[in-house]
Amino acid sequence: MRIDVLGVGFDALDRDAALDRAQAWLDGGTPRYIVTPNAEIAYAALRDAALRDALNGADMVLPDGIGIVKASRQLGRPLRERVPGAEFGPGLAARMAAQGKRLYLLGAKPGVAEEAADRLRREHPGLVVCGARDGYFQDDADVLADIARAKPDVIFVCLGAPKQELWMRRNLDSVGPALMLGLGGTLDMLAGRVKRAPAVFRKLGLEWLYRLAHPSRWRRAAALPRFVMAVRRQRRHEKKGR
């Protein structure tokens, strides 16, 4: 069952159930992709049909942020919990290690994916990181050829939103039987280039507040009040329709 927040259908799964489902797909031999939108992206999708299609066309749609979970409660169809991409990706890597599965890392500035690969290899012996490449390429063909050589089971696509969602949608039939995960800034995090908020902020659902300390985030955060208003409009609209 998917839960509609501003026209994006989110899967009502907790973290473990989401990981179980993704793990079951590893042996499926079918290309698939998973997205982890936050409030800002769901709001952007209201006005961007291509982004909305890329999100709703995913095999799994997970709420990256607390804003989506709160909105789902206000709409009377509560999602269980947030499933941040930055936790989901490494969680799947841990499960892949036990099965000797192959992971390809795509995205972030030159050098970052390699550093993230080193960290994942250290933390998860058994995991095969079969390729790593930065996210500032001009044409897809090169990247797709590299992926074809590497034969990954899973690809972390970390090009930022909405680029990564559109990339996965566009290339779904060109990556072999891989499972792709759109994970935003996760490679930067794994490489230690950005730190996640301290645990106390995360527990209180205030990671966004911590991030505001970074001025480049201000423009993005400006979308949050608009997201809240749009959710109120959706609620009013649904009440009328009942």
Q: Which residues bind ligand UDP (CB under 6 A)?
A: 107-109, 135-136, 158-161, 163, 184-185, 187-188
Give me 170's structure tokens. 């566009």
List of residues 6+ apart from 182 with CB closer than 8 A: 33, 34, 35, 36, 58, 85, 157, 158, 159, 161, 164, 165, 168
To which residue do tokens 């039987």 refer? Answer: 177
Q: With respect to ligand UDP, which residue has the nearer C-beta, 60 or 159?
A: 159
Shortest distance, CB of residue 215 to ligand UDP, whole angstroms?
14
DSSP state of 23: H
Shortest distance, CB of residue 155 to ligand UDP, whole angstroms?
13
Q: With respect to ligand UDP, which residue has the nearer C-beta, 26 or 44?
A: 44
Q: With respect to ligand UDP, which residue has the nearer C-beta, 71 or 108?
A: 108
Residue 178 region, left (φ>0) first, then alpha (ψ -120 to 50), else beta? beta
Q: With respect to ligand UDP, which residue has the nearer C-beta, 51 or 97?
A: 51
Shortest distance, CB of residue 98 to ligand UDP, whole angstroms?
27
Maximum pairwise Cα distance, the chain: 55
Shortest distance, CB of residue 24 to ligand UDP, whole angstroms?
26
Q: With respect to ligand UDP, which residue has the nearer C-beta, 34 or 161?
A: 161
Shortest distance, CB of residue 7 to ligand UDP, whole angstroms?
19
Count the helices and strands in the chain (H runs, E runs).
Answer: 13, 8
Give me 156's structure tokens. 């972390």
